[in-house]
Amino acid sequence: MRIYLSTNDEKKKPADPSYTWINDLNTLDLLVENCEATEIIVDNILSDFKFEEIGDVVKKIMSKMRMGSQITFYQLDFDLMAHEYDKGLLDIHEMNSHLFSGGPKSSVFNMTDICNLIDNHLTIESKDFSHDNFQCVITARRPNGRDEV
């Protein structure tokens, strides 16, 4: 089962019909058994939760991963955005537009925050930045033989 986890915005619905589009954790729990997903894409949904809740949220998502499966996080990276703002390459209007274009947020992150949450459970395969939309892109895999997340 391939999962696309994003906000409840029709624009975020995956174009590829092989993905099951899920827009909240309750639906994830209802539709996906533990260790069932072969691939999960987490598209900017982490900011919908308070910073203190993110550890549990990420564990819930990772618990759905089958051994050998892949997960990709797309998340606005606040450090990257702040760096561009500090250099004068981004004004306050643009910063607000990027931060809040998808509606209200409860938290912001950087690549290090997300990597620290998954590092003990998954093998990080790639980390990159998308400078045009200030996102970090992290791809990781659940190793074979590791039963618990």
What is the tens place of the pLDDT at every residue in 83-129? Answer: 999 999 999 999 998 888 877 889 999 999 999 999 888 999 999 99
Query: What percent of the chain lies above the pLDDT cut of 90?
Result: 77
pTM: 0.90
State the Cα angle at 37 between 31 and 39, rounded to 5°: 125
State the Cα angle at 127 between 124 and 1, rounded to 5°: 60
Q: Which pLDDT value is given to residue 80?
A: 93
> Is the Cβ–Cβ distance between 114 and 42 less than 8 Å?
no
**What does R_g of the chain's alpha carbons equal in angstroms?**
15
**137 vs 120, residue with greater confidence:** 137
